[in-house]
Structure 1
Amino acid sequence: MVTAFRDQPTLVGERVRLEPLGPTVLQAYWEMLQDPEGRRLTGTHAEFTLEQTEAWLRSRADQHDRADWAAVELATGTFVGEVVLSDLDPDNGSVGFRISLAGPAVFGRGFGTEMTRLVLDHAFDTIGLHRVELEVYAHNPRARRVYEKCGFVLEGRRRDALLWDGVRHDALLMGALRTDRRSTQ
């Protein structure tokens, strides 16, 4: 399991293809990082230059302790977001999960749900992990509904974990287990 991410596959669903993240999506990825709504929903305070973003994307192929995917809409070839498995704990069979969509134009269209399901299926059924966990801010109920639909369960709350525009927000801790029932809808 230590080498779980060495040979990162492309995952294909009905509407999206998850391919290893790299510099081919540089411009769209950088634009996603600049989107004010996406930054608010993910609590991203950091600023990224185009050069920093390019260096990050170039480094992904050399990282075998995590899996970073670019999500591409099958019908159009358009970049719609990223999804990541990181912080692998091979002794306990667990990993962290993170997802980001490429702005309001793709929100509410089902991409996040399909991306999440593809990665959970890969984590549980292919790699054989036992647990996938995430953190979502309480001011992002749309994401929480997606996670619950995909099988994540609320496990805890970090009160006032994020300060955004002078307002404090709770972080919700969620987890999914291989033994949990996963929805296919």
Structure 2
Amino acid sequence: NRFGRGVGFLLLPYIIVLIVGSSLKFVSDAYFPESPPAHTVLKTDYYDDQRPEGAIVESPCIPSRFVGNGFLELFIPYLPAKDDKNIEVNCPGLEVANFTGLTLEGSITIQRNRNGFNTDSILLCMGNLHQVHVDDSLFASPSFRFYTHPQRQANGLLAIFDVQHLTRGEHLLRVETRRLREDSLVWEQAAYIPFWKE
């Protein structure tokens, strides 16, 4: 059909123009990097008072960029899809706290908690998956607690650090997490969080 071929012939350039036209973007910020290194970025995800309401974030966070009372709170979310395998490799034989999978909660409830697990061992193991540095100093054996973040509604670990000894001004909180990569546990940067001590 000659008419069909003519329409098809005209339709192809039209589709190409639409695709190219919708992909065009004018770039005017010549000196602003598209993907700057993590330690040079101030991300709102890291600060509870800056994060948009209802945002789902999987990174560690602190309450604010500004620390005025001499104590720095750090929340590290528990990410079962990533952390469970790391816990199994790092702490073989550790008893789990809950049965996983589907459960009934409401008018009919099936117990999902297990008996006989050691809470302290689980907390110690989960805490050992993380290293916390402020500037160039490693916080040795931070005291983590289980915590459900009130804004995120996420489970994780909370540690509170005494930073009164730090000078007034900018500091860098760095969190490293032990991850399983090709049958080895390696330390990966989980977050670079700048903060300012008042």
Band of TM-score, shorter chain: under 0.3
Q: Normalising by the residue count of structure 1, what TM-score does the alignment of the two structures yield?
A: 0.26
Greater relative contact order, per chain length (Cα 8 Å cut-off, separation 6+): 2
Q: Normalising by the residue count of structure 2, what TM-score does the alignment of the two structures yield?
A: 0.25
Which one has the largest radius of gyration? 2
Between Structure 1 and Structure 2, the one with more helix by share is: 1
Between Structure 1 and Structure 2, the one with more strand by share is: 1
